[in-house]
Amino acid sequence: MARGEQVEGFSLDALPKDEGVQVLQIIEAMLENRNQVHVVNVRNEGAISNLPDDAIVEVSALVGAYGIKPVHVGDLPGALAATLRNHIAVQELTVEAALSGDRKVALRAFQQEPHIAAKLTPKETERLLDELILAHAKYLPRFA
């Protein structure tokens, strides 16, 4: 598929410049059973032992006709794994809030997000949440 060519509404122009090529290489590796290694975002499925299996991780993976199988990494250093587990928890809370429209869950996600917690007071955090929900209301119908 050439850059700019569309297939049923999908265009590689929506991807950053270099990623379109990577997508094609991965698809070709699957179709032609190349058994190539690519760096991809996949469900962890035990690749990183001390992160949840359902977390999305960026790891090397073997790509062939059988699909995309992450390469086992093992344990990350404890402090790094703890930081990543916190980010994963924030992402899970964010998704739960978006799907449920539960402002309390959204606020918990905001309060657990380290960048927000480091810079904003609890009242500022609530105000930011309310401003963002309002600004993005058309994408968050469950909060209406």
Confidence of residue 12 (pLDDT cuts 50, 70, 90): low
In a domain? residue 1: no
For residues 46 and 66, membership in a common domain is answered with yes
For residues 96 and 134, membership in a common domain is answered with yes
- pLDDT (tens digit, 9 = 90+) per residue, 21-75? 788 999 999 999 999 999 999 999 999 999 999 999 999 999 999 999 999 999 9
Nearest to 94 by CA among 124, 139, 127: 139
Matching residue, tokens 């062939």 = 64
For residues 121 and 97, membership in a common domain is answered with yes
Confidence of residue 8 (pLDDT cuts 50, 70, 90): low
Indicate the residue among 34, 49, 70 that finishes a domain.
70
Q: Report the C-alpha gap between 54 and 51 in whole angstroms.
A: 9
Distances in whole angstroms, Cα of residue 90 to Cα of each of 50, 64, 96, 110, 144? 17, 33, 10, 8, 22
Nearest to 93 by CA among 77, 72, 116: 116
Residue 6 has pLDDT above 70, yes or no: no
Predicted confidence at residue 72, as pLDDT, reads: 97
